[in-house]
Structures are given as C-alpha cells and as structure tokens.
C-alpha cells in the first residue's frame, strides 16, 4: 500500500473529541436532531466536520445506514446533496419529515389546526390492538388514537405521525428510567431511580401531544432557516439489495454494531400505532441476534455486502468514512471483504452520552477507498 500503520493510525483526534462544555446537549440536539428520540445516532458536529474534511464542495454524499438522518440533515446544512438508506420504516419516516422542505405557513396552519381540533375533542379513537391496549393507560390510548385519526386530514400527515410517535413514546406504561427498552408495562406506582421518589405511570397523553406539536413546529422552523435547498433522498430498504442512485462523492456512515441495539424494537410503539412494515429480520447486527460466532460472521458479511454495493455507486477515488466503535476488531476483515483499503484511521474520545448507556469510550473514524 506504501503507507505505514503509523501513518494510517493517526491516533486521538482532539479536534473531534469535544467535552461536554464545548458541546452541551442543547447544541448536540439542535433543531430537527431532537424531533424524536433515537438510540444510536452520531452527533451532528462530528458529521459536519467529516463532511468538511472528506466531501468535495457541492458534492453528493451517501449514508447506507442513515438511521435518524443525521448525515442527511447535516448535508443539507452544509450545502450538499445526499441520499440515505435504512431498513427500518420508522427511521425513514423520521428522516423524510426532518429533511423535507416544508412550506412554513401551511405547516404552522395545519399543526395548529390539528392540535386545536384534538383539544376540542374531535377525532375518533379506533379499537386498540393488543400492544396498544397493554402499553397505554385507557386515557392515553384514547388520546393517541384520536390524534392519529386526525393526522390523515392534513398535507403534513407525516409530521403529525412523528408527533404522535413521540407522544406515544413518552406516554407508554414504563418507568422513567427505562424508556429505551422497557420489558413489561409498568402499571403500578414504583420507586423511580431517576427522580429518587415514588412515581406513577403516565395516565394520559394530551399534554405530550400539545408539547410535542409546538416543539416540532419550532424545530422545523429553526432548521428551515439554516437548511440549503439541496436535495436529500430517503430510500427505504435493505442497503445490500437496493438499486442505489448516484454517482456519489463519498459515503459517510455509522453502521449498526453487533449485539447492541434493536433498531425496529426501540420504536415498537410507532410500528404498532402507525401500522408500519416491520422488517427486523433484515436488520444487520440486531441485538436480538446476539454475538455468537455465527452472528458475527453474518454481520461481517452483511456490512461488507453493503459497503461493496456502495462502492459501485461511488465516483472513482471517493472515500468511505465509517464511524465505528470496533472493539471486536471486525472492520479489517469487513473492509477487505468489501474490496476496500484503509487509508487513515483516527480516534475520537466520546465524552458523554445521555440516557442509561452513559459513559466514556473511544470511537474510530475509518477512512477507506476502493482497492
């Protein structure tokens, strides 16, 4: 290759290792990045810097594991075209809502109209399915189902669906400290580790619907002020098999990691309330599949398959920028199976994350190209 390991491994990149003080949560979750919770995203400031370093001006970037759309949103902010693929239907809905160019006047009129009608008691609560009956108190599910019925009347129905999902997430019968992956509905008062007192499960959802409708409006308007008019395409499907558009100037992505997160399951309430297609069996690295040798082999082949497919959609000499916490050291094999060579690798100190998975660790940024 003509490049030594020392040159490839540039070590800790202090420019990407922000402290909590440099980058408080409010800044990491600016505008649409906090439109809906999503476990497993990377921070927008990291993406912004990676786009600056590795994507030519006015170029087009591809994210084959686009998740909640951080790459696409930042590409729009940086004046780049982009496309993002995800297997999870809810993630694609969320990305479309974040990246669409909404007419601000129609958006505001519709959201306020829907909220007004909801608060006047309009809408019809259809029969709840088994999941909705088990995971929501009677008043919460009546609120959510009524709001759902109103959403269909509007041009911005998808925005209202994301608001519905966010309200549903907050209104589930869970303890306050177990919002990410609750196992059983919490139907009785409980000792709350987060608030250090007895808390009660949520009994209604109307206050969440109000709060999130207004917050979503503010966030979409904030993003509209910094968004360029470039395009962001959202492609729903398995990135190993989709016909990718292109040609692209770079891939910037953070792939799923084996055994950590179930990306469909974390938004189960949304799938149940919005009748979205569940394709979890195609999810790479799903936690439910564990970390057995067979699971790791399937993961390695799957990610290599995706990167290989992306390579065909890239212009010659374009870069793959892959953010990963590769503690199992799977990526040397994955890159080689995908026909890629590593050019550079830098490490970033991840100072703090929110939620129960808080802690400190290092993340790698791998920069590769076709061999």
Ligand X SMILES: C[S@@+](CC[C@H](N)C(=O)[O-])C[C@H]1O[C@@H](n2cnc3c(N)ncnc32)[C@H](O)[C@@H]1O
Please report, as ranges, the residues that interact with ligand X according to CB under 6 A. 38, 40-42, 65, 67-68, 70, 85-88, 91, 238-240, 254-256, 263, 282-284
Our CB check for ligand X shows the closer of 37 and 59 to be 37
Q: 63 forms bridges with which residues in the sheet?
A: 84
State the minimum distance, in angstroms, from the CB of residue 214 to ligand X: 24
Our CB check for ligand X shows the closer of 40 and 308 to be 40
State the minimum distance, in angstroms, from the CB of residue 255 to ligand X: 6
Our CB check for ligand X shows the closer of 40 and 185 to be 40
State the minimum distance, in angstroms, from the CB of residue 105 to ligand X: 29
Our CB check for ligand X shows the closer of 60 and 238 to be 238
**CB atoms inside a 10 Å sphere around CB 126:** 11
Find where tokens 């476990």 sit.
39
State the minimum distance, in angstroms, from the CB of residue 361 to ligand X: 14
Our CB check for ligand X shows the closer of 70 and 344 to be 70
Our CB check for ligand X shows the closer of 205 and 310 to be 310
- ω into 153 cis (within 30 of 0): no
State the minimum distance, in angstroms, from the CB of residue 257 to ligand X: 7
Identify the CA nearest to 223 among candidates 325, 71, 102: 102
Range 223-227 contact pairs with CB under 8 angstroms and sequence separation of 24 or more: 223/31, 223/32, 223/73, 223/98, 224/101, 224/102, 224/104, 226/31, 226/77, 227/76, 227/77, 227/101
Residues with Cβ < 8 Å from 348, sequence gap 6 or more? 12, 13, 16, 17, 46, 362, 363, 364, 365
Identify the CA nearest to 367 among candidates 313, 319, 317: 319
262, 91 contact by CB (below 8 A): no
Our CB check for ligand X shows the closer of 161 and 240 to be 240
Our CB check for ligand X shows the closer of 68 and 186 to be 68
State the minimum distance, in angstroms, from the CB of residue 71 to ligand X: 6
Distance CA 327, CA 318 (A): 26
Identify the CA nearest to 96 among candidates 62, 66, 65: 66
- As separate numbers, helices (DSSP H) first and strands (DSSP E) second, the chain gives 13, 10
Our CB check for ligand X shows the closer of 86 and 249 to be 86
Q: For ligand X, which residue has the nearest CB? A: 67
Q: Using only C-alpha atoms, what is the Rg of the chain?
A: 21
Distance CA 305, CA 235 (A): 17
State the minimum distance, in angstroms, from the CB of residue 89 to ligand X: 10
State the minimum distance, in angstroms, from the CB of residue 70 to ligand X: 3
Find where tokens 């979205």 sit.
276
């Amino acid at each position: 290759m003509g490049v030594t390991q020392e040159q490839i491994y540039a070590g800790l990149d202090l420019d990407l290792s922000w402290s909590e003080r440099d980058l408080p949560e409010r800044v990491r979750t600016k505008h649409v990045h906090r439109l809906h919770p999503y476990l497993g995203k990377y921070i927008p400031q990291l993406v912004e810097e990676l786009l600056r370093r590795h994507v030519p001006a006015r170029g087009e970037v591809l994210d084959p594991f686009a998740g909640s759309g951080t790459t696409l949103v930042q590409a729009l902010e940086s004046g780049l075209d982009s496309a993002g693929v995800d297997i999870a239907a809810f993630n694609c809905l969320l990305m479309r809502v974040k990246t669409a160019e909404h007419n601000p006047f129609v958006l505001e009129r519709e959201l306020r109209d829907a909220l007004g009608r909801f608060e006047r008691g309009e809408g019809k609560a259809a029969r709840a399915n088994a999941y909705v009956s088990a995971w929501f108190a009677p008043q919460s599910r009546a609120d959510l189902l009524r709001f759902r019925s109103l959403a269909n009347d509007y041009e911005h129905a998808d925005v209202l669906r994301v608001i519905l999902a966010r309200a549903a997430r907050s209104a589930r019968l869970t303890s306050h400290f177990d919002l990410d992956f609750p196992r059983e509905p919490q139907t009785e008062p409980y000792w709350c580790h987060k608030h250090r007192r007895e808390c009660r499960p949520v009994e209604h959802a109307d206050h969440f619907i109000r709060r999130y409708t207004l917050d979503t409006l503010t966030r979409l308007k904030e993003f509209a002020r910094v968004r360029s008019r470039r395009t962001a395409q959202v492609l729903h499907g398995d990135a190993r098999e989709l016909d990718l558009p292109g040609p692209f100037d770079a891939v910037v992505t953070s792939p799923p990691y084996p055994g950590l997160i179930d990306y469909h399951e974390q938004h189960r309430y949304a799938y149940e309330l919005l009748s979205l297609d569940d394709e979890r069996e195609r999810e790479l690295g799903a936690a439910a599949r564990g970390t057995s040798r067979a699971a790791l082999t399937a993961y390695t082949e799957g990610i290599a398959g995706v990167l290989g497919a992306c390579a065909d959609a890239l212009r010659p000499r374009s870069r793959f920028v892959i953010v990963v916490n590769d503690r199992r050291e799977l990526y040397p094999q994955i890159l080689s199976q995908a026909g890629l060579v590593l050019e550079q690798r830098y490490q970033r100190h991840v100072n703090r994350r929110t939620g129960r998975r808080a802690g400190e660790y290092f993340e790698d940024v791998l920069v590769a190209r076709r061999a």
